[in-house]
Amino acid sequence: MIPLSSGILATVPDLDLGWKYLFSYPHSDFVQHRGLFHSPFFLIIFSAALASIIACRRSRGEFAWLWLLWAGCMITHPLLDSLTMGGHGVMLLLPFTTARFYLPWRVLQTATGGDSLLSRAWALRRSEIPFCIAAAIIGFRGLRAARHSGVNQCRTQHRVVR
């Protein structure tokens, strides 16, 4: 369950893509793609709220572990987006500034409209493969470390009310 939830939460920052179909807003608006939902500040608060809902109430260790895991998964998304060659940058320092940034190394390809779907997919995947391998290694080592440290998933306990 943890690997699945971590993978799904890593895509949370792209929820802002759906907003452009629901609302029209100017380019400089902070709710546009790679804005609010890509802010590490927002993602840390969101992951804390989610971990507090999901984690067992009797264990601060489980809350902290889920919070750090999910925050890390979500924060990697805007960091990887700031390595892309396209777009208008990422609001990495929101709420402190609405400036958009890229990291100095822009090594990830983005899709261009003129290419065929297959050639776009291959160009994107070829530039992302090293990052996918690194994420898999980190994930497997983290899972192994969690098993050795005795961290258990939350289990619902049924109580008899008298």
Q: Taking the domains of the chain in order of start, what are their residue ranges?
A: 2-149
pLDDT reported for residue 41: 94
Q: What pLDDT score does 155 carry?
A: 47
pLDDT at residue 154 greater than cutoff 50 = no
Q: Measured at the alpha carbon of residue 9, what is the angle toward residues 14 and 152, in degrees to the nearest 5?
A: 175
User: Could you tell me which residue, 14 or 112, shows the higher pLDDT?
Assistant: 14
> How many other C-beta atoms lie within 10 A of the C-beta of residue 81?
22
- Is residue 118 predicted with pLDDT exceeding 80? no
**Per-residue pLDDT at 153 exceeds 80:** no
- Give the C-alpha separation, 131 to 128, whole Å: 5
- Give the torsion sign (CA, 3, 105, 45, 65): positive
Instruction: Compare 22 and 41 and report the one with higher pLDDT.
Output: 41
Q: How far is CA 148 from CA 7, 84, 108, 142, in A?
A: 22, 36, 35, 10
| pLDDT value at 60 more than 80 | no
